[in-house]
Chains A and B, each alone.
Chain A
Amino acid sequence: MTFQKLPIALLLPALLLGQGKSVPTTELLKPLKNEWLTYNGDYTGKRYSALTQVNRSTVKNLTLGWMSRITPGPGAPAGGRRGGAAPAPLIIGGEGKGDINAGGGTIKCSVLAVDGVLYFTMPDNAWAVDAHDGRELWHYFWKTRGGTHIGNRGLAIWNNYLFMETPDNYLVSLEAKTGKERWHVPIAELEQGYFSTPAPIVIGNHVLVGTGNDIDAPGFLQSFDPETGKLQWKFYTVPMNPGDPGLDTWKSLDAARHGGGQVWIPGAYDPETKLYIFGTGNPTPAYTTGTRGEGDNLFTCALVAINVETGKMAWYYSTSPHDMHDYDSAQTPVIVDGMFNGRMRKMVMTAARNGYFFVLDRVTGERLLTTKYGQRTNWAKGLDKNGAPQHDPEKDPTVPGALVSPDSGGTVNWEPPAFSPDTGYFYVPEINTYSMLYLTELDPRGSMGLGGKEEVTVGTSGNYLDAIDYKTGKVAWRRPFSGGGGGVLATAGKLVFTGDGAGSLVAYDAVNGKPLWNTRIGQISNAPQTFMMDGRQYVIAATGDILWAFMLY
């Protein structure tokens, strides 16, 4: 940040309050390198950093720079831990009465790294800390009205402003420098069962906001004006009116309007086509078809591309048509330009919760490749005419029980994957659980929400970090580990970072999966990230309520 051109009146508060520059939207278009400016670092979803200081040779010297434990809630001790520094300001907002304490939280978000400041969240809480030592700069606490507090995926930044979603469905905008609230607007109705976990995504003059729900309610993505919080458009992922596309894949309009397809993980953006591509959740009711019929239940469990200016759909591709296992397809799509079958293609890829990997043409939605990366995945009986896995009714929930792999948690869940253009590999955890799945609702009307079934996980036949070669869809290597650790980071240092599910943050050789470095800091709860500051490359990751920063001296 250059101070020379700033008037002195602006300069003083900036110095008092630490670093933190304005982030114009043009910055968000740049490939991931020195900073981390959006949920996936950049719009491609690759989580591939161009930084090389930490690489296969130097990673063995990676060492702890600092760690910082944070306390959510209104009474949090703040700031004083670092020897005499003044307590960090606590800013309190929210529409609740302050009578609900959601208790402890876990950092399951992406951390924004902007000009020496880190911004991150837990449900109802946001923090800014100094990236040099983890010292709190401010803490924002939101008094909740309730809702499912399962996680929050972090903040978005636009110029000097931050955006956060809350479990009780508000979009909150904060001043990045001070944590002071600018405004908040409702984004969905808590009483209807909605709850919000995603990180908003800023694209140009749009703040894209998704939500979640478990009861039978329509999914949607909304766009808000980053300046005013005014709604720009609302895209429903299920048909809502007579004549809407996809309605013929539902038994009735009422079924479609309660059909789910929630949008709870941020998508990827292609500036050339202006398409925002994201995954949608399961149809509802999840485990019974009494109301939703036997069709594909569009546009649930699909990759959907919409024009970010208009909110209109350009294409869709069902990755789990007529899902029967709560296999939301809300995984992070990854945008890649590369060779495929001998020609350059503009692609989008996803490794879905249902155990299948897909490569599509991202301009047209044409499917290029489907493979099964979950070795034990057994719920489908081959591919349908569109190349999507076709559910095997015998592996749907049954009264005497069906042995199904993966369990409803999926081959992967929310954890973001990574893609390295150096290796051409798509890195994703592969979880091979089995569960016994029973149908407990025989009412011809079916059940509601996630009801109507009983599921008991009965074992696993091994978990792996996979490197999928996108050109063939085949798994180039599988590294056994205990379980997915919050997501994956790839770097130009030819490294892949992730938690190993056994209490270590691990750096693997991106080429062959060999573990090169680990540090036993506990279960990693988010995807590792990296940024450059003062000539040093930092690697950060969270374990529960602690943020850790590693670096090379």
Chain B
Amino acid sequence: MKQFSMAGAAVAFLTLTLPAFPQGGFVPGQKRPPGDPVQIARGKTIYGIGCTACHGADLRGGDIGGPNLLRSQAALSDKNGEMIAPIIHGSRQSTGMPKIDMSQDDALAVSAYVRSVLETIGGQGRPPATGKVPEKIVVGDAVAGQAYFSAKCASCHSVTADLKGIAARYEDPRALQNAWVAGGSRRRGPQAASKARTVTATVTLATDEKLEGRVVRIDDFLISLRLEDDSIRTFTRFGDKPKVDLRDPMQTHRDLLDTYTDKDIHDVTAYMVTVK
């Protein structure tokens, strides 16, 4: 589950910031005691010998069906072996966990090792990072992508002009794909508003005077324009008065969002990664 910190889609573009807690595991504010490294190392060795086959080398479940220990309520609640050691010693035989023959000290060492791995669980219950190389996401047909580009994009964009060398600008094809689907990377700050992305409007007053400018903000009650001389003028809106004509060059991109198939997207990305 994810509960939004505020309402609304606008927030989806903001960073969801949590309070400044001391760094901990996946439970904010909770930091387990570091544990004795010698005991943890011994526990890791014993775990490797006796537990890996069922519970996996990464504790997330093994080949012969033992459960994921990283989401085990007993393991998560364990403080000093009081939850884990009895299970090792046979308290859950009725539900399939065999009794493991090991000393209490070794069981406590395994418990300490398990706790040390639990500490590496990420936010929102993400498993610890594995260091695996990300999958290749480029699976589309570059020729089909080029054809799509010619048909749908080429009236505004060109791979020899504005998109020249676009693939070189993005190391990760996922980032490239996200950027073109979104209609450009979401840069912030004053340079973000390139002309091609700027929403402009004409406000026609009751006197027939027309004012044009970049839209600073607009809602049901106000519109603010930055005029050519860089001054800002704000107009109160009463329904359709004054008349406001909006021009949003990004509207085409938004409209396209409603039409892309995933294949279109993957094809165009396959084409874009060739535009070096």
Chain A residues packing against B (C-beta within 8 Å): 100-104, 106, 108, 144-151, 168, 189-193, 195, 197, 212-217, 254, 258, 260, 262, 264, 281-282, 284-286, 291, 326, 328, 330, 376, 394-395, 398-403, 405-409, 413-415, 429, 431-434, 436, 438-443, 445, 447-452, 454, 456-461, 463, 481-487, 499-504, 506, 514-515, 518, 520, 523-525
Contact = CB atoms under 8 A, between A and B. Distances in A.
Contacts of B21: 100, 102, 146, 149
Given A149-B28, A216-B125, A400 B183 contact: no
Contacts of B254: 459-461
A401 B266 contact: yes
B interface majority secondary structure: loop
B181 A403 contact: yes
Interface residues of B, number: 69
A452 B125 CA distance: 10
Contacts, number: 263
B34 interface: no
Nearest to B254: A461
A interface majority secondary structure: loop
Interface of B: 1-13, 18-22, 24, 26-30, 56, 60-61, 67-68, 70-71, 73, 76-77, 121-127, 134-140, 174, 177-178, 181-183, 217, 219-221, 239, 253-255, 257-258, 260, 262, 265-266, 269
Contact of B124 (A102, A262, A407, A449): A449
A146 B28 contact: yes
A71 to B, nearest CB: 15
Given A399-B137, A482-B219, 13 more contacts: A191-B76, A192-B73, A284-B125, A286-B1, A401-B137, A403-B257, A403-B260, A414-B3, A448-B121, A456-B178, A481-B220, A483-B7, A485-B8
A214 B239 CA distance: 44
Contacts of B4: 409, 413-414
Given A264-B3, A450-B126, A398 B262 contact: yes
Nearest to B67: A254
Contacts of B30: 145-147, 190-191
A366 B19 CA distance: 43
A190 B27 contact: yes
B170 to A, nearest CB: 13
A458 B12 contact: no
Nearest to A525: B6
B6 A401 contact: no
List 9 A-B pairs, minimum CB-CB distance, nearest first: A449-B125, A146-B29, A483-B8, A215-B125, A451-B126, A502-B219, A458-B182, A450-B124, A216-B71
A439 B121 CA distance: 19
Given A326-B2, A431-B8, A447-B126, A436 B177 contact: yes
Contacts of A328: 1-2
Contacts of A192: 73, 76-77
Contacts of A436: 174, 177-178, 181
B126 A449 contact: yes
A407 B10 CA distance: 12
B234 to A, nearest CB: 11
Nearest to A99: B22
Contact of A501 (B8, B127, B140, B178): B8
B1 A215 contact: no
Residue among A106, A214, A408 with the most chain B CB within 10 A?
A214
Given A449-B125, A518-B220, A407 B12 contact: yes
A452 B60 CA distance: 14
Contact of A515 (B20, B56, B221): B221
A244 to B, nearest CB: 14
Nearest to A514: B239
Contact of B1 (A103, A260, A398): A260
Given A215-B121, A457-B12, A413 B3 contact: yes
B8 A482 contact: yes
Contacts of B7: 413-415, 429, 483-487, 499, 501, 524-525
A409 B24 CA distance: 25
B3 A451 contact: no
Given A146-B27, A482-B8, A212 B257 contact: no
Contacts of A190: 27, 30
A148 B125 CA distance: 12
Contacts of A438: 137, 174
A211 B182 CA distance: 36
A434 B219 contact: no
A454 B61 CA distance: 23
Given A146-B21, A458-B181, A409 B125 contact: no
B220 A500 contact: yes
Nearest to A486: B7
Nearest to B70: A448
Nearest to B77: A191
Contacts of A402: 262
Given A215-B121, A431-B9, A100 B137 contact: no
5 contacts: A168-B29, A189-B73, A192-B73, A440-B135, A518-B220
A254 B97 CA distance: 12
Contacts of A518: 220-221
A443 B22 CA distance: 31
Contact of B6 (A106, A216, A500, A520): A106
Nearest to A262: B1
Contacts of B266: 400-401
A150 B19 CA distance: 8
A482 to B, nearest CB: 6
A436 B177 CA distance: 9
Residue among A406, A407, A434, A520 with the most chain B CB within 10 A?
A434
Nearest to A503: B219
A524 to B, nearest CB: 8
